[in-house]
């Protein structure tokens, strides 16, 4: 397994769960410095068409408190190439559920030109924030959260 200087990954990290921790832990084993982009509330509303349960500032603080994370940045847009220009990472970590998608196939081509690797990490299928929301809705008998 190749080792990198600066790694980057992103996420919403709403209703933080073991899948989030697994991605951060596995990413950190492959780089000296791990930078994590936490999606802003506005980005989540616009990109995922969802309302977060936990506000950005709290999600940012939770992620910053994880020992595998060296730096947290606010993710205001989905442009990973601009993030690389600003943060100078040499690897980007992403869940393997994105592998072989048109979006990430294109990112791989562009990052390859810059000498940046894309590493796909196992997505935890058993747990997701969406599943947690659905479970909470069943337990509380309330309508859809976000």
Catalytic-role residue among 2, 26, 28, 48? 48
- Identify whether 50 is a catalytic site residue: yes
Task: From 54, 56, 64, 61, select the one nearest 132 (Cα to Cα).
Answer: 54
Catalytic-role residue among 50, 74, 113, 144? 50
Q: Which burial class, exposed, middle or buried, applies to 34 when counting CB atoms under 10 A from its CB (0-12, 13-18, 19+)?
A: buried
| 100 Ramachandran zone, left/alpha/beta (phi>0; psi -120 to 50) | left
State the catalytic residues. Answer: 48, 50
């Amino acid at each position: 397994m190749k080792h990198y200087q600066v790694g980057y990954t992103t996420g919403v990290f709403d209703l933080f769960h073991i899948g989030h921790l697994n991605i951060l832990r596995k990413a950190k084993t492959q780089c000296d410095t791990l930078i994590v982009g936490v999606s802003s509330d506005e980005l989540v509303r616009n990109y995922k068409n969802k309302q977060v349960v936990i506000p950005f500032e709290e999600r940012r603080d939770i992620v910053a408190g994880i020992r595998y994370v060296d730096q947290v940045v606010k993710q205001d847009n989905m442009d990973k190439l601009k993030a690389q220009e600003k943060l100078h990472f040499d690897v980007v970590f992403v869940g393997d559920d994105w592998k072989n998608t048109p979006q990430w196939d294109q990112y791989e081509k562009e990052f390859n030109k810059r000498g940046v690797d894309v590493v796909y990490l196992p997505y935890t299928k058993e747990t997701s924030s969406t599943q947690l929301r659905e479970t909470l809705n069943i337990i509380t008998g309330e309508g859809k959260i976000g």
